């Protein structure tokens, strides 16, 4: 299963974002496909915070439209939302120890642990920081 990181969600949603067309095509392919794909809950939260932020965008996305966008993605029959449940804590502890994580990098470790715990084999992201988690293959589908 493939999981999608926040940056791809933002790029796919915001027409003014770099690489919007590629990101939009990637998300459309996943959403319209039959193979299971995932969005970790922390990425949903971060997506909403980023696209509605006046600090990031001169004209941010109204919250109602951002919520509608998430509902479109999660309405895909193949979409799975990844949440913490029994066993997640152990997965997080193992990832932060093996990758020697501390500080702000714990956020990425949380996403990686959710992915590993739910059987995700690959995360699509433009963030190189996920490369430090050996248990999770990363791919930037926006790279030329």
pLDDT digits (tens, 9 = 90+) for 5-44: 999 999 999 999 989 999 999 999 999 999 999 999 999 9
Report the interhelical angle of 6-13 vs 41-51 (nearest 10°): 40
**Cα distance between residue 130 and residue 136, in whole Å:** 8
**Cα distance between residue 22 and residue 12, in whole Å:** 8
DSSP the chain: -EEE-HHHHHHHH-TTSTTHHHHHHHHHHHHHSSS-EEEEHHHHHHHHHHHT-TTT-SSPPPHHHHHHHHHHHHTSTTEEEE---TTHHHHHHHHHHHTT--TTHHHHHHHHHHHHHTT--EEE-S-GGGGG-TTSEEE-TT--
Tokens of residue 144, six digits: 């030329």
The pLDDT of residue 18: 84
pLDDT digits (tens, 9 = 90+) for 78-126: 999 999 999 999 999 999 999 999 998 999 999 999 999 999 999 999 9
For residue 9, give the nearest of 77, 67, 58 by alpha carbon: 67
What homologous superfamily is domain 2-139 in, according to CATH? 5'-nuclease (3.40.50.1010)
Q: State pTM to two decimals.
A: 0.94
* Segments making up each domain of the chain, as ranges: 2-139
Instruction: Flag whether pLDDT at 144 surpasses 90.
Output: no
The pLDDT of residue 60: 97
């Amino acid at each position: 299963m493939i999981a999608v990181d926040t940056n791809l969600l933002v790029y796919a949603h915001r027409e003014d974002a770099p690489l919007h067309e590629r990101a939009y095509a990637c998300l459309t392919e996943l959403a319209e496909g039959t193979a299971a794909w995932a969005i970790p809950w922390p990425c949903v939260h971060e997506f909403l915070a980023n696209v509605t932020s006046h600090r990031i965008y001169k004209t941010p996305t109204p919250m109602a439209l951002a919520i509608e966008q998430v509902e479109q993605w999660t309405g895909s029959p193949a979409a799975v939302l990844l949440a913490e449940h029994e066993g997640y804590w152990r997965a997080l502890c193992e990832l932060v120890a093996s990758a020697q994580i501390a500080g702000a990098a714990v956020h990425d470790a949380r996403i990686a642990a959710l992915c590993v715990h739910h059987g995700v084999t690959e995360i699509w992201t433009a963030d190189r920081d996920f490369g430090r988690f050996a248990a999770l293959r990363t791919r930037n589908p926006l790279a030329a």
